Structure 1
Amino acid sequence: MLQTFKTSVNEVQEKLINIGNDLVTANEIIVDAITDCNVEKFNNARDYIKNISSKTNEIDNLIIKILALYTPEAKDLRQVVAYFKITNELSRACANTRSFIRGFTDICTDLEEDTISEYAIPMQNSTIRAVKTAVSMISCNDSDELRERYEEVLIEENKTDDLYSMIEKNLIQKAETSSGEFEKYHRMLRALRKSEKIAGRAISMANLLLYANVGGSLQAS
């Protein structure tokens, strides 16, 4: 039973990693798309995160089957429960990415070049690093290495928070001095907020993966 359990868990890991890698690729393409407001590139990024609900449902059904067949305990149970929750985090991260693409496509040409280069692109790059590191934790079994990677995700997620706070302050100041353009700046902030939320999903995944390995309490939002 142990071998078949491990095989099933490895299958779950592989499927989670595949979705995570596609999410990373989509966000990497977005960086290029942001630079020149390239709609074709935005659409290409969207292609990598299609049909996520069916993919996560497939993983959830596999996890339910694992719980029913093997009734895992202790660390094995923590691991399976964490994966069950991570499918939701990946789904939400993909939804945030789609929303970011949709929102940024609408406001890209209105953003000044310095705002894009100083805030939007660095924030997106930190988001990518956060997600990529969180996904790499799925196949990591060393507790010390997991803790180090968790800290890396936390650092990048904090960067996205800081950058969003700066761009929020910058755009609000512009809105206050630009009569009749409040809605435009509000749409900009709403779009950029999605990038920050993707990083938030990455830290939730990292929390779950740390919990799966070392125990403690669940901290995913």
Structure 2
Amino acid sequence: MISNFKTSLENIKTKIEDIGTGLLESNKLILLALHDCNTEKFTEAKTHIKNISSKTDDLDNSIIKVLALYTPEAKDLREVIAYMKITNELARACSSTRSFIRGFTDVCEDVDVATVKEYALPMQDSTVNAIELALSMLNCDDADEMQEIYNDVLIEENKTDDLYEMVERNLSIQADCAHSFDKFHKMLRALRKSGKISSRAISIANLLVYAKVGGSLSS
């Protein structure tokens, strides 16, 4: 029974890694696309997060089966519950990624190159780092190391927040007419999605600390 439970749990973790890897690859391609508003790379980025609803539904069903079949307790239950909540965070991160691709593709060529380099690129770079760090925690069992990685994810998430506030102030100053205001508003709305993705990464990191180490469940 214990062996079957552990096998099922590993299968769940593998499915989480699969979705997470797709999310990471999509955001890496977005980072490349931002350098020159490469529409082909933006389009390619979407292919890595296709059929997410189907994948997360399958993942939820696997988790429900584990709860029904094995009725885990203590640490095992904590890990299963964390994985269930991580599924939702991954779905939301993928949704924000699609929205970012769609929104930024519409305005990318209209945005000043210097603005992209100064704000959009470092924001997306921090988002990619946050996702990658959070996913690395799936295969980490050392409590101190997990806390260190969590802190690194938090740093990257804070960077995206700070950069968004900076670009928001900068573009508000530049938006001196109705036409430019509409353009800048669309860009800000797209960039906000990048910030939301890193927020999902810190939520995932928090849940993994809870699963492996314990503590309060704040996500």
TM bracket (short chain): over 0.9
CA distance in structure 1 between the partners assigned to 2:53 and 2:60 by the alignment: 10
CA distance in structure 2 between the partners assigned to 1:180 and 1:82 by the alignment: 46
CA distance in structure 2 between the partners assigned to 1:191 and 1:162 by the alignment: 16
Q: 1:149 — aligned with what? A: 149
Q: Residue 82 of structure 1: CA displacement?
A: 0.2
8 Å CA contact 1:13–1:139 kept in 2: the answer is: no
Q: What secondary structure sits across from 1:181 in the alignment?
A: helix
Q: 2:189 — aligned with what? A: 190
Q: Residue 40 of structure 1: CA displacement?
A: 1.1
Structure 2: runs of 5+ lacking an equivalent = none
Q: Residue 11 of structure 1: CA displacement?
A: 0.5
Q: 1:213 — aligned with what? A: 212
Q: 1:122 — aligned with what? A: 122
Q: State percent identity of aligned pairs.
A: 60
CA distance in structure 2 between the partners assigned to 1:83 and 1:38 by the alignment: 35
Q: Residue 166 of structure 1: CA displacement?
A: 0.5
CA distance in structure 2 between the partners assigned to 1:63 and 1:77 by the alignment: 11
Per-residue Cα deviation, 1:67-120 (whole angstroms, up to 9, x for no partner) = 011111111100000000000000000000000000000010111111111110
8 Å CA contact 1:164–1:193 kept in 2: the answer is: yes
- Root mean square deviation, CA, Å: 0.9
Q: 1:15 — aligned with what? A: 15
CA distance in structure 2 between the partners assigned to 1:195 and 1:134 by the alignment: 16
Q: TM-score under structure 2 normalisation?
A: 0.98
Q: What secondary structure sits across from 1:49 in the alignment?
A: coil
CA distance in structure 2 between the partners assigned to 1:113 and 1:121 by the alignment: 10
Alignment of 1:33-48 (within 5 A): 33-48=33-48
CA distance in structure 1 between the partners assigned to 2:206 and 2:63 by the alignment: 19
Q: 2:105 — aligned with what? A: 105
CA distance in structure 2 between the partners assigned to 1:102 and 1:179 by the alignment: 22
CA distance in structure 1 between the partners assigned to 2:132 and 2:105 by the alignment: 24
Q: Residue 178 of structure 1: CA displacement?
A: 3.5
* Residue correspondences, number: 219
Q: TM-score under structure 1 normalisation?
A: 0.97
Task: Give the partner amino acid of 1:217.
Answer: S
CA distance in structure 2 between the partners assigned to 1:103 and 1:11 by the alignment: 35
CA distance in structure 1 between the partners assigned to 2:25 and 2:180 by the alignment: 34
Q: Residue 162 of structure 1: CA displacement?
A: 0.5
Q: 2:96 — aligned with what? A: 96
8 Å CA contact 1:143–1:213 kept in 2: the answer is: yes
CA distance in structure 1 between the partners assigned to 2:94 and 2:178 by the alignment: 35
Structure 1: runs of 5+ lacking an equivalent = none
CA distance in structure 1 between the partners assigned to 2:44 and 2:184 by the alignment: 26
